[in-house]
Structure 1
Amino acid sequence: MTRPGLPKLIATDLDGTLVRSDDTVSAYTHAVLDRVRAAGIRVVGATGRGPRLTELTRNDIRDADFLVLAQGGWVIDQQESRLLRSARLPGRDLARALQALEAEVGPLSVMVEALDHDDAPLWGDYDPTWRYPVTVEPRTRDECLTSDVIKAFARSFERDVDDLLAAARRVVPPHVASVTQAGLNYVEICPPEVDKGTGLAVVAQAVGVDPADVLVFGDMPNDLPMFAWAGWSRVAVANAHPELLAVADEVTLTNDEDGVAVYLDKLLSK
């Protein structure tokens, strides 16, 4: 049982929120999250990272009871070692989304995430500006679209990613695919009705927690759906995207200042 006045579940984004700019998570943050679990509060890591980065994610949020991966399309119960959700986007629907977007903005560089094993390669167009270590297996667009995918990354070298996302929101029908961006200069194209809000709803249903008892942390537009879904409080780090800052209930310190841990430390100390 959690103490009165505390949330029953906390969910935090990783990159740009819990994880610092040097791609590390501080010992202080790990210790605070351990205290959160000891207080009876479930911990969820909610990230855009796909299942190919599961082990990295587990290392960054060691105390997570659940992982919400791939923008909500992949949900893992860590305690039971059980997959609760595994959504995929048919290649024909991805083709339709890309066609609509390219008709609006011009040619795109595209990579797809199709394989779910750890350290699996991406397929498609290699981008030397991708900031994380990644293996890209060169494949033509047609080859990438022959099977269902977990998600796709689409980049315009002519347009800012926020402009590209605005175009995608206009022209990609929500029943075909969902679109977002997570700070990688790419629009991410996911299965319809897949976002961090629907991913967290899977977790909440599994453990019997109401959205009103859920506290969330984030920094980018891909966190907007879980901010709309959660009800206890929606907290943005100070380095967050303007779209998220505009809807946050509270703002904590930046990711490099361990803003999530500082907020939770104060919450537990009340």
Structure 2
Amino acid sequence: MTDLDGTIVRTDGTVSARTDAAFDRVRDAGIPIVGATGRGPRLTGMSRGDLPSADYFVLGGGGRVLDLTGDEPRVLRDLRFPGRALAELMPQLEAEFGPLQLTVEALDAENAPLWSEWEQWPYPDPIELRTREEMFAVSIIKGFLQVAPELGARLTAEARHPDVEIIQAWPGFVEIHAPGVDKATGLTVVTDLLGIDPADVLVFGDQLNDVASFAWAGHRVAVANAHPTLLGMADEVTAANDADGVAEYLERLFS
């Protein structure tokens, strides 16, 4: 299993031909390949383009799981949470942590816009300004709060709501998921389907939203640019994403 952004995707947004070739070699050996990313279903095409050899995809940090082994993608998991949970959660969070700006992923059509209270989004995703009332009225794939890194750590450690899972995806970003959603539970959908023990899974990652999959998998490899938490959990460290560290590791493994 591999994460995408910051792990096989380089800083310039590309994936090298070397990395593609390394994963082709894994696939040709008959080993299932799973891409696991925080990118939501609306970025399925982009994700498949970055890891074309993948047999399965875990999207949205675990909420959507796709089987790509047939003629058409098959949805194995699609978990969302009601917007009304945010209607209850946001006043609680703001009473404790001060004003927050909410962005949500509510649509899963290819390249669909995120809904947000503001336009300051650090990635080239389309943004559609919406009120909180509009967000609260629909089912949510994932919510986002952009906060200072130290506040994100406090918020995820202290905030609780029975209808959502709150995680720090990476410093400065807090994500809100359906209960029980993380990369590990998404990957479990795949391993249960294939009859694979998580102890036999090799996982690559770089950020805090990979903590669950690192805790779950039998062998953990962090890229050199990974968050210190991931580096501390890793069994091995390979070169950074910009140096094709995952490809380098796989080349050694298959040499």
TM-score (norm 1): 0.90
- In the alignment, structure 2 segments of 5+ residues that lack a partner are none
1:96 matched to 2:88? The reply is yes
| Partner secondary structure for residue 261 of structure 1 | helix
Q: Given the alignment, which residue of 12, 18, 32 partners 1:28?
A: 18
- Contact map agreement 1:125 1:136 (CA 8 A) in 2: no
For residue 225 of structure 1, what is the aligned residue in structure 2? 212
Q: Given the alignment, which residue of 53, 74, 79 partners 1:87?
A: 79
Separation in 1, partners of 2:13, 2:229: 23
How big is the shift at 1:147?
1.1
Paired residues for 1:1-270 under 5 Å: 11-80=1-70, 81-128=73-120, 130-156=121-147, 160-173=148-161, 175-183=162-170, 185-231=172-218, 233-269=219-255
How big is the shift at 1:182?
3.2
1:262 maps to a residue whose letter is: E
Separation in 1, partners of 2:138, 2:189: 25
- Contact map agreement 2:117 2:130 (CA 8 A) in 1: yes
Alignment length (residue pairs): 253
Separation in 2, partners of 1:37, 1:243: 30
Separation in 2, partners of 1:107, 1:25: 38
1:134 maps to a residue whose letter is: D
| 1:123-171 per-position Cα deviation (integer Å, ceiling 9, x unaligned) | 122333x332111111111111111100011123xxx234323322312
How big is the shift at 1:184?
7.2
Separation in 2, partners of 1:162, 1:258: 30
Following TM superposition, the consecutive aligned residue runs of length 4 or more in structure 1 with deviations greater than 6 angstroms are none
Separation in 2, partners of 1:149, 1:91: 6
2:90 maps to a residue whose letter is: L
How big is the shift at 1:186?
2.0
Separation in 2, partners of 1:68, 1:170: 27
For residue 3 of structure 1, what is the aligned residue in structure 2? none
1:172 maps to a residue whose letter is: R
Separation in 2, partners of 1:218, 1:224: 9
How big is the shift at 1:98?
2.3
- Contact map agreement 1:165 1:179 (CA 8 A) in 2: no
| 1:4-44 per-position Cα deviation (integer Å, ceiling 9, x unaligned) | xxxxxxx1110011100000000000000000011111101
Separation in 2, partners of 1:149, 1:199: 17
How big is the shift at 1:60?
0.2
Separation in 1, partners of 2:102, 2:212: 24
1:254 maps to a residue whose letter is: A
Separation in 2, partners of 1:112, 1:148: 10
CA-atom RMSD in angstroms: 1.3
| Partner secondary structure for residue 246 of structure 1 | helix
2:160 maps to a residue whose letter is: V
2:132 maps to a residue whose letter is: R
Q: 1:96 to 1:161 in 2, by over 3 A?
A: farther
The range that moved more, 177-186 or 22-31, is 177-186
The range that moved more, 176-185 or 64-73, is 176-185
The range that moved more, 101-110 or 47-56, is 101-110
The range that moved more, 234-243 or 190-199, is 234-243
| Partner secondary structure for residue 189 of structure 1 | strand
